Amino acid sequence: MKKTIIATALVLGIGTLAGCGTQSSDNTTKKDTTPKQETTAKATPNNEKQVLDWSYSGKTGPSNWGDIKPAYAISKTGKAQSPVKIDTTKTKKDAKITNITYKYQPTSFKLIRKDQMIQATAQPAKGRPDSTINVGGKDYTLKTINIHTPAEHQIDNKKMDAELQLVHTSKDNKTVIISVLVKSGAENKAIGDLTSVVANSTNNKEQTLKTTISTLGLIPTNDKHFTYQGSLTTPATTEGVTWFVYETPITMSTKQLDQLKSKLADNNRPTQPLNERVIYSN
d(CA 220, CA 107): 18
What spatial distance separates the first Cα and last Cα of the chain, rounded to whole Å?
A: 23
Judge whether 226 lies within some domain: yes
pLDDT tens-place string over residues 72-96? 999 999 999 999 999 999 999 885 6
Q: What is the pLDDT of residues 98-145, one digit of tens each?
A: 567 899 999 999 999 999 999 999 999 888 899 999 888 889 999 999
Q: Is residue 166 part of a domain?
A: yes
- What's the confidence (pLDDT) of residue 62? 98
Supply the range of the domain harboring residue 113.
Answer: 3-26+79-281
Q: Does 180 reside within a domain?
A: yes
> Would residue 69 count as lying in a domain?
no
**Is 112 among the domain residues?**
yes
Handedness of CA 13, 17, 23, 28 (dihedral sign): negative
Q: Is residue 55 part of a domain?
A: no
Answer yes or no: are the C-beta atoms of 39 and 49 closer than 8 Å.
yes
Confidence bin at 158 (pLDDT 50/70/90): very high
Model pLDDT for residues 199-239, shown as the tens digit of each residue? 999 999 999 999 999 999 999 999 999 999 999 999 999 99
Q: State which amino acid sits at residue 192.
A: G
Q: Does residue 70 belong to any structural domain of this protein? A: no
- CB of 247 closer than 8 Å to CB of 20: no
Pairing relationship of beta strands 239-246 and 207-208 according to DSSP bridges: unpaired
- The answer to the question of residue 34 being in a domain is no
pLDDT given at position 99: 63
Question: Which are the contacts of 150, defined by CB distance < 8 A and separation ≥ 6?
Answer: 159, 160, 161, 162, 163, 266, 268
How many distinct structural domains can be found in the chain? 1
In three-state secondary structure terms, 104 is coil
Rounded (5°) CA angle 282-17-135: 30
- The predicted structure's pLDDT at residue 96: 63
Least confident of 45-49, 111-115, 192-196, 204-208: 45-49
pLDDT tens per residue, range 241-265: 999 999 999 999 999 999 999 999 9
**Which CATH number belongs to the domain containing residue 164 in this structure?**
3.10.200.10
Residue type, 162: A
